[in-house]
């Protein structure tokens, strides 16, 4: 990726109440879902239970946008040549890594939970990072579920990668600020992609395939 075109997209969330997310049952994909493969590099920062549940929640959000996600679980570190995790990303393949980045003591203000590296000129991206410790802190401070916040954050960053933009929308999952008021309101539409963004993501994946 060209450094000059890289733009860091910061997802800013504000402490608030996050009511329970949808259940983590396995969604059923159909032929109309546009396939996308997403690798995750979780390192030592996520418990298996949180990892599994967060991916299920992200899967549901992306499915509602018409995307059929296949997760490829990778470990940080050196992989064997035969390991698919050691291969370059293929068409319609993205990557999420989970990391930690502690905030300075007595930090106040918006809480960036992660970022996506986006080539805004080519309108594409392939790698996003989620700061697990910040998600955990926000969930703990707001008395909400870490896995739900993780799943929604993952889907938001995938949105940036597929939309190839640093911008946000005034409504829906791609809002820049997840305010306490909105979190407490917990309207379903606040945690889904807008129809326009969903269509744009499907179009981006379709163009990658043809
Ligand atoms: Zn964002």
What are the tens digits of pLDDT across the range 172-186?
999 988 766 667 777
Is residue 37 pLDDT above 90, yes or no?
Answer: yes
Note residues around ion ligand 1 (Cβ under 5 angstroms): 9, 11
Is residue 14 pLDDT above 50, yes or no?
Answer: no
* Rounded Cα gap, residues 96 and 73, in angstroms: 10
CA distances from 92 to 37, 48, 146, 152, 160 (A): 6, 25, 28, 20, 14
* Rounded Cα gap, residues 146 and 113, in angstroms: 12
What proportion of the chain, given as a percentage, has pLDDT over 70?
A: 79
> Distance between alpha carbon 79 and the CA centroid of its chain, in Å?
24
Say which residue, 208 or 59, is predicted with more confidence: 59
| Mean pLDDT along residues 182-192 | 80
What pTM value is reported for the model? Answer: 0.82
Is residue 9 pLDDT above 70, yes or no?
Answer: no
Say which residue, 21 or 92, is predicted with more confidence: 92
The token duo for 157 is: 């960053």
Is residue 8 pLDDT above 80, yes or no?
Answer: no
Question: Mapped to the 3 state alphabet, what secondary structure does 92-122 carry?
Answer: CEEEEEEECCCCCCCCCCCEEEEEEEEECCC
Q: How far is the CA of 4 from the centre of ligand 1 (A)?
A: 20
Q: How far is the CA of 153 from the centre of ligand 1 (A)?
A: 9
The token duo for 11 is: 């997802």
At residue 116, the pLDDT reads 94
Q: How far is the CA of 122 from the centre of ligand 1 (A)?
A: 18
């Amino acid at each position: 990726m060209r450094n000059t075109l890289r733009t860091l997209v910061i997802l800013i969330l504000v402490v608030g109440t996050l009511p329970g997310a949808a259940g983590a049952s396995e969604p059923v994909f159909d032929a109309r879902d546009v396939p996308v493969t997403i690798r995750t590099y979780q390192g030592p920062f996520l418990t298996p239970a949180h990892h599994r549940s967060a991916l299920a929640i992200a899967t549901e959000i992306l499915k509602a946008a018409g995307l059929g996600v296949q997760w490829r679980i990778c470990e940080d570190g050196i992989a064997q040549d035969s390991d698919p995790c050691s291969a370059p990303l293929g068409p319609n393949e993205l990557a999420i890594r989970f990391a930690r980045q502690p905030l300075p003591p007595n930090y106040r203000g918006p809480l960036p939970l992660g970022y996506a590296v986006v080539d805004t000129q080519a309108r594409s991206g392939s790698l996003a990072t989620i700061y697990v410790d910040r998600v955990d802190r926000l969930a703990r401070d707001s008395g909400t579920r870490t896995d739900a916040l993780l799943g929604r954050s993952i889907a938001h960053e995938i949105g940036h990668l597929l939309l190839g933009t640093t911008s946000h929308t005034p409504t829906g999952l791609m809002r820049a600020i997840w305010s306490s008021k909105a979190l407490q309101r917990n309207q379903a539409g606040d945690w889904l992609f807008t129809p326009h963004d969903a269509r744009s993501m499907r179009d981006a994946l379709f163009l990658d395939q043809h």
